[in-house]
């Protein structure tokens, strides 16, 4: 009985193909994660500079329904800058966690492929130094990554 030998060249091409497919898939997922991180960073850079109109624009449409642009700008400036007695803050963004599905609140539809980040804002103001931590969710809407907050009770 004769054995057929698989050519070494064919095996190497097959291995290289599998590796390339793996790297391509990994690159696509890493890109989504990186883009989600970048929108969170952009949002907090605007907030840090007091440019609340720009940060509001990065909200998902569900968030924009919760408060108007004018109300958001006025509230953020009033509460964070006036009440806390600070001009700015620093922030850190934690490692992303990918969620297959998530809801902004119980009465809203399920969203798929969401990234969750823990953001810590550090304030140094007239009432001392303090941190505020908030989970920030990022989801694609019309092919752009948008910010959401959690309203589940």
Distance (Å, rounded) from C-alpha 16 to C-alpha 9?
11
92 is a domain residue: yes
Place of tokens 């009465």: 107
Residue 140 falls within a domain, yes or no? Answer: yes
Q: Are strands 111-125 and 90-93 parallel, antiparallel or unpaired?
A: antiparallel
Beta strands, E only, the chain: 90-93, 97-102, 111-125, 128-141, 144-149
Q: Considering the domain boundaries, does residue 111 fall inside one?
A: yes
Q: Is residue 1 part of a domain?
A: no
What are the pLDDT digits (tens) for 30-89? 589 999 999 999 999 999 999 999 999 999 999 999 999 999 999 988 887 787 888 889
Q: Is 19 inside a domain boundary?
A: yes
93 within some domain: yes
Range of the domain at 92: 8-149
pLDDT tens for each residue of 113-152: 999 999 999 998 888 899 999 999 999 999 999 999 999 8
Task: Give 3-state DSSP helix, strand, coil % of the chain, rounded to 5.
Answer: 45, 30, 25
Residue 21 is predicted with a pLDDT of 67
Q: Would you place residue 6 in the very low, low, confident or very high pLDDT band (cuts 50, 70, 90)?
A: low
Residue 2 lies in a domain: no
- Neighbouring CB atoms inside 10 A of 59's CB total 20
Report if residue 127 sits inside a domain: yes
> Above 80 in pLDDT, residue 98?
yes
Domains in the chain: how many in total? 1
CATH number at residue 23: 3.10.450.100
């Amino acid at each position: 009985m004769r054995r057929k030998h698989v050519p070494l060249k064919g095996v190497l091409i097959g291995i290289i193909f599998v590796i390339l497919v793996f790297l391509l898939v990994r690159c696509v997922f890493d890109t989504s994660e990186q883009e989600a991180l970048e929108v969170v960073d952009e949002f907090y850079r605007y907030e840090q500079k007091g440019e609340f109109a720009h940060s509001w624009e990065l909200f998902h449409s569900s968030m924009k329904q919760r408060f108007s642009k004018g109300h958001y700008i006025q509230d953020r400036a009033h509460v964070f800058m006036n009440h806390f007695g600070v001009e700015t803050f620093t922030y850190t963004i934690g490692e992303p966690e990918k969620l297959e599905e998530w809801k902004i609140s119980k009465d809203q539809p399920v969203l798929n492929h969401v990234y969750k980040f823990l953001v810590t804002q550090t304030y140094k103001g007239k009432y001392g130094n303090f941190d505020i931590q908030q989970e920030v969710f990022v989801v694609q809407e019309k092919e752009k990554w948008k910010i959401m907050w959690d309203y589940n009770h």
